[in-house]
Amino acid sequence: MILKQTSACLRGIAIIMVMASHYAEWILEGSKYPVVRETLCGMGVLGVDIFFFVSGYGLLKSAGERGVGRSFLWNRLKTCYLPYLMVVGIIMFLEGGFRDLKDWKDYLLGSEYWYISVQMVMYACFFVCYGSETVLPEKWKRIYKKNRELLLTVMIIGFTYWLYAIGKADFWILSNGAFLIGVYLARLESVTSVTHKKEKGWFKGIIPYALIVSLCIFLISSFWFYRTSFMQWEAVKSLTFTISVAMVSLLYEFKSAPLRLLGRYSLYFYLIHAFIYRLVGNGFKGSSTMIILPLCLILTLFVGFAVGLIVEWFMKWMDLRITGLILKND
């Protein structure tokens, strides 16, 4: 079983990888060491893999056998979409406001913050699969319960194919399987009772071998992607990396307080770090990387923590008023 503190630490590691990827892309352009830049840029997709894996695992753990109610939608809004609207709305206002309807559409759909857009679709798919039982006829409920994961898989694959068909960039697509891996791992624990003492030793005995196999495939696919740039190899790399993270998380407990703190406020670091870079870049044009990068990191951490605390306080205030209304009718 992956503990909540381990999940928080994983999110902390993930946001470090995502920010490292973006800063490498922006700051190291034209670098004398292209391999270093390409390696760091490649960490972004792997960081998103971790985010989606933790999300899928946590959602199914919280849903359990009962599924989810209407409060699920509010919880997802208050922890992801509403903070996005608040923070990015302020950023857009500071950078000149909304010029036309396209700006409003991109803002509401999260087009410039693709992670938010994809994550909200996954939440919606999850709700359809685990929260629609009450509206089904009695004879369909048993079939529905037995095939929730299959239905979710079909929906996520369909959504991913649609993204590919309309020409979205690879990073919109590659990490979607990580969400399903998280869901299936949580279901495996539930079905086989791997957290029970009798089976725990057997299950843990398999994990190291699964880890070794997945790491080998990950390294091979990384090598071939570097040589060929085929998206198929990148997809294999992404999936095997996620499986490796899952195995490590089952074997070890992560307890780092700094990583937990980064994980708790990772959404806010993600939302503001590009804005901070633009702010610092415009204010220190022509300055060396040794000045711009530390400033970006310090400001991102400081502003991210501050914004996170303010938004959390506001959401708790709203929660007291809205959750009560939802629970009365749930």
Confidence of residue 266 (pLDDT cuts 50, 70, 90): very high
In the chain, the amino acid numbered 267 is: L
d(CA 274, CA 26): 10
d(CA 122, CA 56): 9
- Is the alpha carbon torsion for 35, 37, 242, 147 positive or negative? negative
Q: Which one has a higher pLDDT value, 327 or 130?
A: 130
d(CA 119, CA 87): 17
Backbone angles phi, psi at 68, to 5 degrees: -125, 155
pLDDT at 227: 46
**In terms of DSSP H, where are the helices of the chain?**
4-27, 34-63, 71-76, 82-94, 101-109, 114-130, 138-146, 148-165, 176-192, 197-228, 231-251, 257-264, 266-283, 289-329
Query: Using the 8-state DSSP alphabet, how is residue 136 labeled?
Result: S
Q: Of the given ranges (20-29, 90-99, 212-221), which has the lowest mean pLDDT?
A: 212-221
pLDDT tens figures, 61-70: 887 655 677 7
The CA-based angle 234-236-239, given to 5 degrees, is 110
Query: Using the 8-state DSSP alphabet, how is residue 167 labeled?
Result: T
Distance between start and end Cα atoms, the chain = 29
- E strands, the chain, are none
Q: What is the CA radius of gyration of the chain?
A: 21
| Residue 203 token pair | 């299950």
Which of 173, 189, 252 lies closest to 60, judged by CA?
189
Burial class (CB in 10 A: 0-12, 13-18, 19+), 217: middle
pLDDT tens figures, 138-181: 666 677 777 888 889 899 989 988 988 888 888 888 888 899 88
Does 273 have pLDDT greater than 50? yes
DSSP 30-56: T-S-HHHHHHHHHHHHHHHHHHHHHHH
Query: Using the 8-state DSSP alphabet, how is residue 202 labeled?
Result: H
pLDDT tens figures, 225-239: 444 455 666 777 788
